[in-house]
Structure formats: C-alpha cells, structure tokens
Amino acid sequence: MGIAVLDRGYVELPLGTLDATRIEAVWRYGLAAGQPQRVLPDGRMDLVAHCVLHPDSSVASVRLVVAGPADTATQVVLRADTVLVGVRFHMGWGGVCLGVVPHTLRNQALTGPCALALLGPLADAVVRADTVPRAQAALCAAVSTLAARAVVTAAHGRALQAIARMKQRVQAGAFGEAAGAESSSRTLRRDIVAVAGFPLRTLSGVLRFQRALELLDAGGGPLSGVAVAAGYTDQAHMTREFRRFGGFTPTVPPPAPLVRLFG
C-alpha cells in the first residue's frame, strides 16, 4: 500500500485483537512537509513507529519512540516522506505495559537504544518492516504481547478505578477532580501519579480540555455554554485552561494547525 493510498492527517484504525481494556487506539499520522503542527496533550502514553519512506512508498527505515504522558502542547515538523503509526494506551496503562515509570517521561519521549531495549526481541519485526501496514501489524503484535504480560497490583487497580470515575465526571460535565471520597487519600494520590504520571487534578484538566474541544468542534454554542458543559466554572476558567494545555485560547487561532491524537 503506497502512501498515496494512506490518509494524510490523523486517522484511528481498528483495534483488531488488541485488549480494549488496556489499549485505547491504533492510529496513523501523515504530515504535510515543512508545516509546523501543534500536537495537543492527552495524558496517555503511546508506542510509535516513525516510518521513513522511499520514493516508491516502501519503508526505508523505522525508528521506535515511546511517548510519555503529556500535559503541554508540542510543535512538530515531519518530512514529507514520513508516516507515523502508533498504539495509544489507556490512561494509567502505558507504564505497566511498557515497563517504565510514567512520571519520568512527562512531556518527554524515549528513542533509540532506550526504546529498543524496552521491547527487546519484539522490536525486531517492527524495525525491519518494509511497508507501513507491516510496521503497523508488527507494532500491534508487540503491544499485544506487552499488554498480556502486564501485572496489575492492588494499588494499580485502585488508581485505575479512581481514574475511571474521574473520566465519568468529566464526560458528564461535572466540575472538579473528585473520583470519590477516597481520592483525598495521600496513598491513592501517590498511586495515581505512579500509574499515570500526573496527579488526578492534571489528568482531569487534560480531559476537560479535550471535552471542550469536542464541544467546540460540534458547534456547541456560545463559549459560556461550552465552558459550563465541559465542567469549567465559567468562560474565563476555560480560557485559562486552554492557555495552559494548548497554548491558545478559544477565541484566538492557535499559532499552528492543531493535531489531536485522540478520538
């Protein structure tokens, strides 16, 4: 399959046999050359294969990247002959599946030998792939094995439950970070940082930011109404959070086209 057949921009693909409780999405991204793109934060971790293509669209080389959880926007520029294929873990699952401590990778990425070492022999088929679909298939196979190996401790399970409750509150437009009365426990808060890389307040802020973007895309009405529906106290609160997580405001166009690596 040549790059002309592949969608430019961001597209999510079927999970196939991947565990949907641990894996959130399989995605592919192609970027117009020389155009800076602002990648928005989503608080998750991704395993990504950077595929550099030959003129005939076969793969010349593959570079593995482990993208840590982010709470800030990043500006990127890719060559025209590059396609990214990635697997995004659900919030709180990337660290245990990949064998890394998420908070050590906040707004950072592992590349080169460090990324290869995490996958070990599982990386071989990915970096040797000669087409984008084969790189994608090998990446998914590696992630499937890693996810199946992941062991969830009691502390991890409690943190995941707290994150799930927080997600429900954000989706419902509820204000605040609370995931239940027990979320005030110092132990639970430490557990959440250990499995997700950020405190619950930051994670809820990222999700609320995403929710507001979805509402704006859907034509959610006046900004004041969008703010309330997304769980902000008011429009001013939403504007501050947009600056924090996106580097722009709802009323002022961002300095570069936006890339949202979330559905």
Identify the pLDDT of residue 177. Answer: 56
Q: Which amino acid is at 68?
A: G
Residue from 28, 29, 152 nearest 90 by CA: 152
How many degrees, rounded to 5, is the angle at CA 50 between CA 147 and CA 24?
35
Asked if the model's pLDDT at residue 33 lies above 70, the reply is no
- Which tens digit of pLDDT belongs to each residue from 213-235? 989 888 878 999 999 999 999 99
pTM: 0.88
Radius of gyration of the chain (CA): 19
- Which tens digit of pLDDT belongs to each residue from 122-170? 999 999 999 999 999 999 999 999 999 999 999 999 999 999 998 888 8
SS3 251: coil
What average pLDDT does the chain have? 87
Residues of the chain with pLDDT > 70, as a percent, come to 87
Identify the pLDDT of residue 81. Answer: 86
